[in-house]
Amino acid sequence: MTRVILVGSGRMGTLLSQAIEADKDLELAGTYDVTNVSELDDEAPAADLVIDFSNRDALPHTLAYVRRSRAALLLGTTGFSEGELAEVRALGEATQVIWSGNYSLGVAVLRHATRLAAEALPGWDVEIVETHHAQKADAPSGTAEMLLREVDPAGERTVAYGRQGMVGARPKGEVGMHSLRGGTVAGTHEVHLFGTDEELCLTHRASSRQIFVTGAIAAAKRLVAREPGFYTFDELMFAE
């Protein structure tokens, strides 16, 4: 039985809690949110795994618990800085850790398709568009940032976050990132590649959050069976 501490009791936290309660291999050891997250620093119950879908401000508390307990960590929260993500990766030296901005299998394949298209179509203009519900706390989405990395693995290209106030032609080589917010959209990601007289558009639409829950639980079960290290979603889900 894997004892799980859940950080986040919002839209994702509620669904994850139900999935954990329904899973015969998992047991919920405690749930934390803004009201009690500081308890993770020194007085939380024992657990084998921490699942965090909350807010970047919870990260120091989650990391403090994982450092102390050496529980495995599956992190789904988005909106982190590069420095925060480096801290998360470094924790892989002590225990099993995964961060992904998206736990859907379809988005994993979209990332591969984006890499393939960008490599095959050098010189084409690329624009990434993400659409989410009105309550989302961060922009651009973590998934859009991951897609940007597939287009520009070396981080060499200029990124235009929206084009408000732009004067003149679109600079060659720039990648555009655009965020739409409204209603209850669970998450849509589009990668547009524009050539002369043609456009390739790769799209993923989430019609419910259950896809993220299913992917996260499946990845978590594989994570706890591994040696300490920082893992990607692909390494856990697609490798033998």
Ligand X SMILES: NC(=O)C1=CN([C@@H]2O[C@H](COP(=O)(O)OP(=O)(O)OC[C@H]3O[C@@H](n4cnc5c(N)ncnc54)[C@H](OP(=O)(O)O)[C@@H]3O)[C@@H](O)[C@H]2O)C=CC1
- Closest approach of ligand X to the CB of residue 34, in Å: 4
Residue 132 falls in the annotated catalytic set: yes
Q: Residue 198 is encoded by which pair of tokens?
A: 């043609």
- Closest approach of ligand LZUJQKHR to the CB of residue 142, in Å: 4
Total of residues contacting ligand LZUJQKHR (CB under 6 A): 9
Residue 24 falls in the annotated catalytic set: no
Spatial distance between the Cα atoms of 86 and 84, rounded to a whole number of angstroms:
5
Catalytic residue among 24, 112, 132, 204: 132
Residue type, 15: L
Q: Give the DSSP per-residue string, 88-141.
A: HHHGGGTSEEEE-S---HHHHHHHHHHHHHHHHSTT-EEEEEEEE-TT---SS-
Nearer to ligand X, 8 or 176 (CB): 8
Find out whether 9 is annotated in a ligand binding site.
no
User: Residue 191's beta-bridge partner residues?
Assistant: 128, 202
165-204: which residues touch ligand LZUJQKHR (CB under 6 A)?
187
Find out whether 2 is annotated in a ligand binding site.
no
- Closest approach of ligand X to the CB of residue 17, in Å: 10
Task: List CB contacts of 153: < 8 A, sequence separation 6 or more.
Answer: 115
Find out whether 65 is annotated in a ligand binding site.
no
Which parts of this chain interact with ligand LZUJQKHR (CB under 6 A)? 78, 101-102, 132, 136, 141-143, 187
The residues carrying an active-site annotation are: 132, 136
